[in-house]
Amino acid sequence: MTEFEPVLLKRISKKASPSLDAYRADGGYRALTKALNEMTPAYVVDSVKASGMRGRGGAGFPCGVKWTFLPKDHPGPIYLCINADESEPCTFNNRILMEEDPHQVLEGVVLACYAIGAKTAYFYLRYEYGRAYRALQKAIDEMYAAGLLGKNIMGKGLDCDIFLHRGAGAYICGEETGLIESLEGKRGWPRIKPPFPAIEGAFRKPTIVNNVETMACVTHIIDRGADWFKSIGVPPDPKNPRDAGSYGPKLYCISGHVNNPGCVELPLGVTVRELIDKHGGGVWKGRKAKGVIPGGISMGIMTEAEFDTPLDFNGPGKVGCLGLGTAAITVFDDQTSIVDVLYGIARFFAHESCGQCTPCREGTGWMMKILDRMRKGLGRVEDLKILDDVAKSIGIMPGTTICGLADGAGWPIKNAVQKFRSELEEYIRKGERSTAASLQMVGAH
């Protein structure tokens, strides 16, 4: 891969000031000026659609296409919600953008509001992100003072207000309808769909939900053009009619057992191996990798033999993973027990399940308890079949739950039972031998 020049992290890598004046000096709000002077809202929508950008929040749905789902000639109001909850473990790309270059994101928010006809944007921010909250609020205040928010922006008749709303520490509110319920002051339970938010969302009005990195990309699509964005990344697989391509730059988080954890910007399609070896400095302590979680723990697990898989929207699915997710890879080395990895994952999802759907509420708890018993040396070989059965029976895809949390909870379990079965069986046998030896000692006394 030729050397790639960062776009989303360009100012951050230079340690540029996040202030409005510094952002404008680097060309900030050029895209908004261009849109208000030269483009109709429909043209902005068409530009984002033509870019082929897929949402960076996890599902990878085409952003411009989502915008077209709004009812035509709706009297309003129409709302834009920015998903800044970012609760997926080991994911921190949105946090970096909000803390270090908030105006890049906020310019995209105003552009999106212009495109879809929204006069109000709600920025739903993870409560634990205190520094991001302060950076965003300061930037929003600067925008109001400069006439970039409020009434008649730049004298072009655009009205737009942005309100920060802090969440309450619930992973489930990263799901867009759970986010909307929380925004409305209710318990963060995902809604049954349809109706989808574009038809009936916040306060029962048409609503578009996009994530932070998506908004930053909108800024550059309008500034540089759809063709520029589409020149980066991976075109659709001609053998897969459902592949919409993987265009544009992407922020990849690298964490776990690597020498240099961090966040890097690269074209979509970089391999796991390149991320670990070139950008993560290799596996720590001179060890080898056993596996990697490729895009947040809900996406499943790749073995070391699968590290040449490209991390685009299509690649992870070829090795049995759920998708690209948040593109946050977490590496675990060859001295890490797969049982410990799975227990940590299952414990997280059991804790974060909202409890609305019985299969998820009960299934995540069962998986955690089985894995906890295995960790204590009391596992049985038949537990692997039970884990696999539960993992395959919960979630949207088997049609048993309202949202995808259960799919994310089950996917790494399914992967591990298939890909690490020999290690799991040996772990169980070792526990059986240890238990038998303990019983013999008790009998001898």
For the chain, the domains span 10-231, 246-333, 338-434
Checking if the pLDDT of 437 tops 70, the result is: no
Cα gap 237→235, rounded to integer Å: 7
Q: CATH code for 10-231?
A: 3.40.50.11540
What is the model's pLDDT at position 243?
A: 86
SS3 359: helix
User: Cβ contacts of residue 180 below 8 Å, gap of 6+?
Assistant: 81, 191, 197, 201, 202, 207, 209
Arithmetic mean of pLDDT, 412-428: 96
Q: What is the pLDDT of residues 39-82, one digit of tens each?
A: 999 999 999 999 999 999 888 899 999 999 999 989 989 999 99
Q: Region 210-223: what's the mean pLDDT?
A: 97
pLDDT digits (tens, 9 = 90+) for 142-197: 999 999 999 999 999 999 999 999 998 899 999 999 999 999 999 999 999 999 99
Domain 338-434: top CATH class: mainly alpha
Q: What is the mean pLDDT of residues 122-137?
A: 97
Instruction: Tell me what the mean pLDDT of segment 325-346 comes to.
Output: 96
Q: What is d(CA 424, CA 3) in angstroms, rounded to the nearest whole number?
A: 41
Closest among 275, 272, 268 to 301, alpha carbons compared = 272
CB atoms within 10 A of CB 344: 15
Top CATH class, 246-333: alpha beta
Res. 433: pLDDT tops 90 = no
